[in-house]
Amino acid sequence: MIKTCIVGASGYTGAELASLIHCHPRFELNALYVSAKSQDADKKLGDVHGYLFGQINLPLTPLTDDALHSLANEMDVIFLATPHEASHDWMPVLSSGKAKVFDLSGAFRLKDQQVFADYYGFAHEQTTSLEQAVYGLADWFADDIKDADIVAVPGCYPTASLSALKPLHEAGLIADGHLPIINAVSGVSGAGRKAAMGNSFCEVSLQAYGVLGHRHQPEISAYLGREVIFTPHLGNFKRGILATITVKVNTDVSAEDVANAFNQAYQEHPIVRIRDTWPKLDDVVGTPHCDLFWKLDVNKGYLVVTSAIDNLLKGAASQAVQCANIRFGFASQLGLVHGVSA
């Protein structure tokens, strides 16, 4: 079994990771860590997240500097479900041993350090780790992931958006000079467990935020290979992301061209499902899937694509497990989809 630990295990994503690894046929959950000042320190995970009560009895151990060095050499896999600053600071130590590190923060996604500083609000000082990190959009970058020591797991909005747009871009169907327009709505779990008025369930209605300045915009643009206009919205529901994307296509692009682009992109990637109707959040919440559907207006030359994911799973935890599966030579959907064997 592959020895695995999770740092930042008390959060929503950390708990989902623990649940997935606990049931995984090849990874063994050995330890759970939280920050030294966490209010959940020394509690059992099942006492913090009741749906895991009686299933995962490991304690949430406060992380120390000494533990960082030990984990790097004793673990095979380390998942970081931590704030950007923590991942940034801890990565050189955690990646210095045999462990492969899968970081779910945004600390190592953007290669341009100035863009990073502009959007994340602090200077990136871990140049060597940043150079080592590969982007973990699992259904697109498996060749990079399989040899990586550090994997930067994509953000939830970029996962939904890039899954819809990359087949079109790679097939050359998007009109030159056109910026795809992404409108995406997320449930409040995307903001994490920390209490704040802006994401309190009773305070949230449905509103745009981070307009023309959200940190996921440069991430989407960087890994799509063209600029986009990205507008996120916060909705009054727990989990899930629904992204609706409008694209101007080249002259003479047909519905058959669009269908071929999506089918060729995902025919060997069963986590992404091409639907025959508009996906809804109920279809994907609690699953590792990304569901896509599209419609082309041939006369006007505009294409609308909808992408639906669970922000805590395909947008975070299950994609991290996909990446770990790929890194260790397993089918990417192992432990995520029933009936898949190693």
Residue 46 sits in a domain of what CATH number?
3.40.50.720
Any domain includes 160: yes
Q: What is the structure's pLDDT at 205?
A: 79
What single-letter amino acid sits at 286? G
Sign of torsion over alpha carbons 27, 28, 30, 34: positive
Q: Indicate whether 53 and 108 sit together in one domain.
A: yes
Assigned domain for 318 exists: no
Q: β-strand 229-235 against 290-297: which pairing, if any?
A: unpaired
Residue 123 lies in a domain: yes
**Domain membership flag for residue 168:** yes
The number of folded domains in the chain is 2
Residues 90, 217, single domain; the answer is no
Look up the CATH number of the domain holding residue 232.
Answer: 3.30.360.10
**Other CB atoms within 10 A of residue 334 CB:** 20
What does the pLDDT read at residue 284?
98
Q: What is the DSSP letter of 3?
A: E
Please give the Cα distance from 232 to 294 (Å, whole number): 20
Domain identity same for 242 and 191: yes
Q: Is residue 298 part of a domain?
A: yes
H or E, element range at 206: strand 206-208
Same domain, 14 and 119: yes
Whether residue 184 sits in one domain with residue 101:
no
Tell whether 69 and 165 lie within a shared domain.
no
In angstroms, the CA 81 to CA 16 distance is 10
Instruction: Give pLDDT, residue 189.
Output: 80
Asked if the structure places residue 151 within a domain, the reply is no
156 is catalytic: yes
DSSP 8-state assignment for residue 313:
I
Catalytic, out of 5, 156, 290, 323:
156
Residues 116 and 177 in one domain: no
Could you give the strand order of the β-sheet that contains 206-208, starting from the edge strand earlier in sequence? 206-208, 229-235, 181-186, 241-248, 302-309, 290-297, 272-274
Of 91, 58, 138, 111, the closest CA to residue 330 belongs to 138
Helix, strand, coil tally for the chain in percent (to 5)? 35, 25, 45
Question: What pLDDT is recorded for position 81?
Answer: 96
CA 90, 158, 18, 59 torsion: positive or negative?
positive
User: How big is the CA angle at 139 (ends 174 and 88), to the nearest 5 degrees?
Assistant: 100
**Residues 6 or more apart in contact with residue 44 via CB below 8 angstroms:** 56, 57, 58, 59, 60
Domain identity same for 6 and 97: yes
Give the structural domain span for 305: 156-311
Tell me whether residue 118 is in a domain. Answer: yes
| 81 and 124 share one domain | yes
At 135 the pLDDT is: 98
pLDDT tens for the chain, 342 residues long, are 999 999 999 999 999 999 999 999 999 999 999 988 889 988 999 999 999 999 998 999 999 988 999 999 999 999 999 999 999 999 999 999 999 999 999 999 999 999 999 999 999 999 999 999 999 999 999 999 999 999 999 999 999 999 999 999 999 999 999 999 999 999 988 665 455 555 666 677 789 999 999 999 999 999 999 999 999 999 988 899 999 999 999 999 999 999 999 999 999 999 999 999 999 999 999 999 999 999 999 999 999 999 999 999 999 999 999 999 999 999 999 999 987 776
Contact 222, 111 (CB under 8 A): yes
Co-location of 50 and 194 in the same domain: no
Domain match, 123 and 235 both: no
